[in-house]
């Protein structure tokens, strides 16, 4: 095996084609320089230089080796720079989980900012419902999630990155759409409501149950994804509660109605492991929007 010093010695001689000038360039005397080149040739198993009293020339093997030697030396230089950038969180990989609706208002701006400010960070995206994101964080498959509470705050840390109103979505020709005012819980009495899975979409399930607690809706469908809910509403299968940003999903044939009553905010959290040590994650956390 050869050393970096031997590579540097060979490159200097190959570029100067003169041992004296190469020695001066490396701030060393000629005999140790010659020994470095001889050791390199023995390690490589080929003659790299032809030398006599008048001149030094590269052999064909030397010409080929010079290209690789320069590449190796450049790689050593950039490896140190890369290590520093990774240590500072400016390079590396971020495995980012997100829900479909978190992508509407939060994911796009975050990805644009990451590409502008941290171009050497590779972002690997995983679309998952919140429980699957939490499993991924706990198993070390994800570095950061964009999801909804609840989660184990002893193990996971979080920050609210977006807050928006809860609203109703109804078929376009529905009587609730014609009321022209914010809807109350009582307005939903007797209505067929499309709700959410209490396990896979627990957050929206609980918001729906809480808002409709005083009315007596008929809940016949329970699904996981907000887009699915809205498509079912468009198909006339019922009415539902969704975050206001769902308007931007572009589903036709539905109307969105404001809700009357306090405490109808929908929160999106950035979620990560409390014991996470990734420099990239720490850098990205400083870039997240923060809502109080």
Tell me the domain boundaries of the chain.
Answer: 4-87, 92-161+267-285, 164-265
pLDDT of residue 261: 74
May I ask the CATH class of domain 164-265? Answer: alpha beta
Q: Give this prediction's pTM.
A: 0.67
For residue 104, CA distances in Å to 99, 107, 125, 268 come to 9, 7, 14, 11
The DSSP symbol for 154 reads T
At 93 the pLDDT is 87
Return the DSSP state at 133.
H
- What is the per-residue pLDDT for 218? 84
Distance separating alpha carbons of residues 267 and 262, to the nearest angstrom? 14
State the pLDDT at residue 157.
95
pLDDT of residue 87: 62
| pLDDT in the model for residue 264 | 74
Residue 27 Ramachandran class (φ > 0 left, ψ -120 to 50 alpha, else beta): left
CA 243 centroid distance within chain:
23
CATH architecture of the region 4-87: Orthogonal Bundle (1.10)
What pLDDT was estimated at residue 284? 92
Q: Which residues of the chain have pLDDT under 70?
A: 79-91, 262-263, 291-292
CATH topology of domain 92-161+267-285: D-Maltodextrin-Binding Protein; domain 2 (3.40.190)
């Amino acid at each position: 095996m050869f050393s970096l010093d031997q590579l540097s010695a060979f490159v200097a001689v190959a570029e100067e084609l003169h041992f004296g000038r190469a020695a001066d360039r490396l701030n060393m005397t000629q005999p140790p320089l010659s020994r470095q080149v001889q050791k390199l040739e023995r390690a490589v198993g080929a003659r790299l230089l032809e030398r006599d009293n008048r001149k030094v020339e590269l052999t064909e093997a030397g010409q080929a080796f010079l290209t690789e030697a320069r590449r190796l030396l450049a790689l050593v230089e950039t490896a140190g720079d890369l290590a520093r950038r990774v240590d500072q969180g400016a390079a590396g990989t971020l495995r980012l989980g997100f829900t479909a609706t978190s992508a509407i208002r939060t994911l796009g701006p975050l990805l644009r900012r990451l590409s502008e400010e941290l171009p050497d960070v590779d972002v690997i995206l995983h679309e998952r419902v919140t429980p699957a994101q939490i499993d991924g964080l706990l198993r070390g498959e994800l570095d950061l999630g964009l999801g909804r509470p609840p989660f184990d705050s002893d193990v996971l840390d979080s920050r609210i990155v977006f807050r928006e109103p809860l609203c109703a979505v109804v078929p376009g020709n529905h009587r609730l759409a014609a009321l022209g005012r914010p809807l109350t819980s009582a307005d939903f009495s007797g209505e067929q409501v499309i709700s959410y899975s209490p396990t896979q979409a627990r957050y929206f399930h609980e918001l729906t149950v809480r808002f409709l607690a005083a009315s007596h809706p008929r809940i016949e469908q329970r699904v996981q994804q907000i887009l699915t809910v809205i498509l079912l509403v468009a198909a006339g299968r019922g009415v539902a509660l969704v975050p206001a940003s769902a308007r931007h999903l572009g589903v036709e044939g539905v109307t969105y109605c404001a809700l009357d009553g306090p405490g109808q905010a929908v929160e999106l959290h950035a979620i990560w492991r409390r014991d996470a040590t990734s420099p990239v994650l720490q850098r990205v956390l400083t870039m997240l929007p923060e809502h109080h």
